[in-house]
Structure 1
């Protein structure tokens, strides 16, 4: 797979008539490192892919992901307020774009009203990663390994879901956030519905 990634980088670079040395100077990566990437002898990390994609003005996803045969034309739309609703402890989860089969992420629009750790139901944890982007309100995120973090509208955070965590809404307004959870590699449990 790394060789395939390397050829994508090489093709994007050559389409723009950029030499390895030019790409090196613009990205801050060594010519040797870039050559190894293009020849499949070095592993591409997300940080390096972001640097190269920024210089070449191409979507970083074109380096990080390969399309799956037969699944290139999928899309899912959730109209405002039409997602499946789940209610938790002082939280409301609206499932977004849930009709893909074999998906790797679950997307939610979450409204949080919990004003205390207890009202939120205490600690929670799950497999995979969790991403949060605050749309409105002020969120205080508690985790067992870090001091509480306050996130304001426009702030985002990504963390390991297995780390116990809890959410608290600060102020008078509920917190509205977009959340994404990765689906564990072995998929959702049998009978799970989102």
Structure 2
């Protein structure tokens, strides 16, 4: 028989997480009450609402969140069910998001010009590299589908907002739609798409492409 003594984690709910596989690495305790509060707030729930969902008294939830009492395993089951999470998620430390401090300001009219036969693009936030989004403003020169040799397709998703004028947005799987100033469309850029200006002057749009 083994000499190891069984450990019951439920009465005290003392939980630890190893930082890595190195046996010499530090082990930090997880504050269960703090974790429960973060889950509740992330779900947009007040203590009263969480109480109704879990069946636990509001005062009990408050004491758990403030580390004044440790929940029983039965209470943990109610919490997981009411907060719509799995019990293991209650023991996961919150992910630390490191702020990179990146910022790029583009003054009006000072973006990088990139003209084409159908658009006059002004690229924004050009000082930042490895961006997850590519924002740019465009003057829509095209007035007819004949101005395009073929559908435009590329990886990622796009958001388009009409800043001035009127455009007709064509897409491969949908009927053409007229978009006026203030209208927007979000679409899969792998789907063939193109647009023309319906205005007397070139329409102005904001485009954001995400990978």
Judge same fold: TM > 0.5, yes or no.
yes
TM-score, structure 2 normalization = 0.60
Larger radius of gyration: 2
2:128 to 100, 103, 107: 100
Deviates most, 92-101 or 113-122: 113-122
TM-score, structure 1 normalization = 0.64
Where do 5+ consecutive residues of structure 1 fail to align?
25-30, 42-65, 184-194
Secondary structure (helix, strand or coil) at the match of 2:146 reads: coil
Q: Could you say what the CA RMSD is over the residues aligned between the two structures, in angstroms?
A: 3.2
Question: What corresponds to 1:36 in structure 2?
Answer: 84
CA gap 1:94/1:20 in 2 versus in 1, 3 angstroms: same
Could you report, residue by residue, the CA deviation over 1:143-172 in whole angstroms, capped at 9, with x for unpaired residues? 110000111111111000000111111131
Question: What corresponds to 1:55 in structure 2?
Answer: none
Secondary structure (helix, strand or coil) at the match of 2:40 reads: helix
Secondary structure (helix, strand or coil) at the match of 1:110 reads: strand
Number of equivalenced pairs: 148
Where do 5+ consecutive residues of structure 2 fail to align?
1-34, 55-78, 90-94
Secondary structure (helix, strand or coil) at the match of 1:114 reads: coil
Higher relative contact order, chain-length normalized (CA < 8 Å, sep 6+):
1
Structure 2 distance, partners of 1:11, 1:37, is: 14
CA gap 1:97/1:14 in 2 versus in 1, 3 angstroms: closer
